[in-house]
Each structure stands twice: as structure tokens, then as C-alpha cells.
Amino acid sequence: MEPDNSFRQTMAFNVKWLGIAQLFSYGLQFIVWAILARLLPPEKFGALGIALAFSNLVLIFQELGMGTAIIQKKDLQDRHLNTTFWICISICSVFLVFAVIIAPATATFFKNAVISKLLILFAVKLLVDSFGTIHEVLLKKNLQFKKLTFIEISSSIVFAIIAITAVYKGQGILSLGWGYLGKSLLKVCLLWTQSSFHPSFSFDRECFGELFDYGKNIVGFKIMSYIANNIDIFIIGKLLGSQVLGYYALAINLVNFPRQKLSYIVAQVAFPAFSKIQDHLEDVRNAYEKLIRYASLINFPLLMGLLLLAKPFVHLVYSAKWDPMTAPLQILCVYGLCYSITTFTGTIFTSTGKPQKLVHFFVIILITTVLAILGGIKFGLIGVALALSCNAILLNIVGNTMACGIIKMRLKSYYKALLPAALSCAIMAIVLIGLRHFQMNIQLAYLPFVIISILTGTLAYGAALFMVDKNSFKELTVIFSNMVNRK
């Protein structure tokens, strides 16, 4: 079998299983969030956004980037694993103490008491997660995503049961915290049963130095990434208030779905897979071009559809009280579209052994994101959405220029890979805009309109792709066929 075919089939097989896990998990999370959005006011989601932003801080330092180093490292030994295991637990323990100390002050600063309880709940959850971090890393390194799928689906079901039960028991937004904690407890137990790694009480300074030499760049990247991805939450929460932050938190969660779920699915498989072929730049170039093309073919129509159907979607799923987030949501779809592709630049930086480039890129992201938010904040939530979307376009150009330079790939090839999806989406958009005008004229209810639009948009996009690029249409069909049929 040719290397390219072998690589494609391996990617398809593992993307299939990780995709099943992530989409199932997100589906349950979406249902739980929708239930809470109907029962609770927007400011409660503002509190959730702030608590999540603080809890994500520990993820920067949880394993000091050494988990990524373990995946990338060729000559891995048990002493590397034991060292990283105890580092994870120590850091998360310190963070739990830190969370308990700062929780009251954080709630006072943002004038929202529930933040304190959420922050402590998420800190406990992260400590539980730390006991399974290395087990999960090893399963990813060995491309055992089928096992990870079983674990993710099982734990996600527990999350939904606990969260929904807690909602109807009157726990409010805390229901999500209890649900995530229950999910972590089961996930760690299952990871230990599915992994062959059993830690021992040992710590090797030499191994720590070896892994951290690579991981420190990952930590630097995560620090920049954390600030860039959460500075909007802090600024909006402080200057525009919890209610506006609630609208923003829900909108950004929707537009980040392709980036955090679909693109994440592929990136999680691509990193260990690319690491195995990192010494063959031609293979990496070919794989990266296909990766970008396939990702855009899936992500672009989803975000274009959300942009065009935002108002009926928001009213149907979250109720009319969330209508103020409709316009920002539509603008942020551009942000989500750009980032759903930009996220793959990190795979190139890390898998080719150049994590320092990732740090440099996120310095740029941090600076431009802060400037964009400060420039847009005086125009309210719509101003922030416009500024962030324009910045996302700029960062897509900069990031992929850097990534293509590393693997010696022409930018023309990169943009050519995006063309089939862009043209097909344009045709789909024309069809959906016409359908929207028709719906307004006959005053068709939102539910049948959304159903008809999804079906019509899917058919229009598929037909357009077939006309624009038959090869991409056939390749995508083959990929889905391999994902469905390969055992």
C-alpha cells in the first residue's frame, strides 16, 4: 500500500472514532446548555464563562507541555511517564488551593456570587482529570482513538444525567459544574482500565529537564493562547456586565464548535500522525493540503448556515430572550470560519519539532486580539464581534504564512485548497437567502423553515461542490466511506 493511502486510511479510521466521541459529547452538552438557557437568565451564563476562563488557567501548567513532548518523542521510557504523572497531580493540587483562596475575591470583583462556587467545582474537576492525563496522552500517541471514543461517550452520558438531574433539583448553573465533575470521575476510572501505564512513586530530574526543554515552548504557547482566548471574557464581563457577557459566551461557544470540535478532532489525530512523518516534508505538505481542504469542506458550510439561519435558530433553541445575541453571532461566524482553519497551523509547528514558532505566533495573536477588543468595546458587543472577526482574517494569513514556510509549501497551494469550499458555500448562501425571502413573504413558522433550509442548503452545497470540484467531492465521499466501513 502506498504511504499516502496508508496515511489517509489511518487518519480516516482515527478521525472516525474521535469524531464519534466528540460529536456525541458536544451533542449532549448542547442539549444541556439549551435546557439551561431556557430556564436561566443570560447573566448566569456570564458567570459560567468567567469561571471556565479561570479554570482553564490550570490547563496551561497542568503538565508543563510534557504531554505534547511525550507524543512527539521517539525514545520514550517509563521514567518519562512517571515524572510527568506526578507533575500533573502536584500542579492541579496547588491550583485547587489557589482557587479556594481567590474564589470569594473573584466573585466580588465581577459582582456575581455564583462564580465562587463554580470556580471551586471546576478546580476539583481538574484535579480529578490530572490522574488520567498521561493515560490519555499514551492512547493518543498510539492512535488508539477507538478506546478513547468508548471512554468519552460513557463519561458524556454520565455528564448529561447528572447535569439535567441537578437542573431540575434547583442547582441552576451549578448543574454544569456537577455534571463535568461526574464526567471526570468516570473518565479517569475508564482511562486506567484501558491503558497499560501504571505509575510508580518516582521522579527523574533528568527526564523532567529533557521533556520540559521541549514542553516549555508549549507552555509559552498556552500562556499566550489562554490570554488571547480569555481576555475577551474578562474585559466584556467587567466593562459590559454579566448579561452582555452571557450573550457573548453563548455566541462564541456556537461559532467555536467547528474549531473546538471538528477541527480539534482532526488535529488530535494529525499531530501524532504528522509526527511519524516529520522527516519527510513532501509527505507533510501533501497531508497538510488535504487536511485544509477536507476541514474547509466540512466547516465552511456549517458556519455559513449558522450565519444565515441565526435568528430562527436562536429563537427555536434558546428562546426569544436571547435575541440580542443574534447580530453578534452572525458577525462572529466569520471569526469561527477563519479560526476553524487557522488552528491547524499549530499541528505543523509542534509535529515538525518547532514549538517555538507556536509561541511567536501566539504573541502576535495576543497583541492583535487585545488591540481588537479595546478598539471594538466602545461600540458594544457588535463592535467587539466586528473587531475580532477582522483580526481573525489577519491571523489566518499570518499563521499560515509561517506554517507554509516551515514545510516549504506555497501559499498559492494553501488558498487553492480552500477554493472548492468557498465557492460551494457562496452558491449555497444564494439559495438560502432566496429561501429566507420566500419564508418572510409567506410568514412560514421558524421550525419548518429551519428544517427546510437545512435540507435545501445541504443539497445545494453538495450539488455546488460536485460542479465546482468533482475530485474534492469524490475524495470527501471516499473519506466518509472509509470512516463508515473501516473497522
Q: Give tens-digit pLDDT for 228-252.
A: 777 787 788 777 877 888 888 888 8
154 and 190 Cβ atoms separated by less than 8 Å: yes
* Average pLDDT over every residue of 439-449: 81
Indicate whether 5 pLDDT > 60: no
Rounded Cα distance, 230 and 330, in Å: 20
**Confidence band of 1 (pLDDT split at 50, 70, 90):** very low
127 and 93 Cβ atoms separated by less than 8 Å: yes
Rounded Cα distance, 160 and 209, in Å: 41
Q: Which residues contact 73 (CB under 8 A, 6 or more apart)?
A: 80, 211, 214
What are phi and psi for residue 280, nearest 5 degrees? -120, 90
Q: Say what the pTM is.
A: 0.67
**Sole residue written with cell 479554570:** 55
Q: pLDDT for 34-45, tens place per residue?
A: 887 887 777 777
121 and 181 Cβ atoms separated by less than 8 Å: yes
**Confidence band of 363 (pLDDT split at 50, 70, 90):** confident
Indicate whether 430 pLDDT > 90: yes
Q: Which residues contact 292 (CB under 8 A, 6 or more apart)?
A: 341, 344, 414, 417, 418
**Sole residue written with cell 470569594:** 104
Alpha-helix residue ranges (DSSP H) falling in 65-113:
66-72, 78-109
- pLDDT, residue 105, reads 85
Q: Give long-range contacts, CB 8 A cutoff, 24+ apart: 108-111.
A: 109/238, 110/47, 110/50, 110/237, 110/238, 110/242, 111/242
**Sole residue written with cell 509527505:** 283
- pLDDT, residue 388, reads 92
Indicate whether 3 pLDDT > 50: no
Three cell numbers written together for 253: 461557544
Indicate whether 478 pLDDT > 80: no
- Separation in Å, CA 277 to CA 145, 272, 386, 414, 479: 19, 9, 39, 20, 20
- The region that residue 250 occupies, defined by phi over 0 for left and psi between -120 and 50 for alpha, beta otherwise, is alpha
Q: pLDDT for 88-140, tens place per residue?
A: 888 888 888 888 888 888 888 877 778 888 888 888 888 898 888 888 888 87
Three cell numbers written together for 73: 518523542
Rounded Cα distance, 474 and 244, in Å: 44
Percent of the chain that is helix, strand, coil (3-state, to 5):
85, 0, 15
Rounded Cα distance, 26 and 225, in Å: 22
Percentage of residues in the chain having pLDDT higher than 90: 13
- pLDDT, residue 387, reads 94
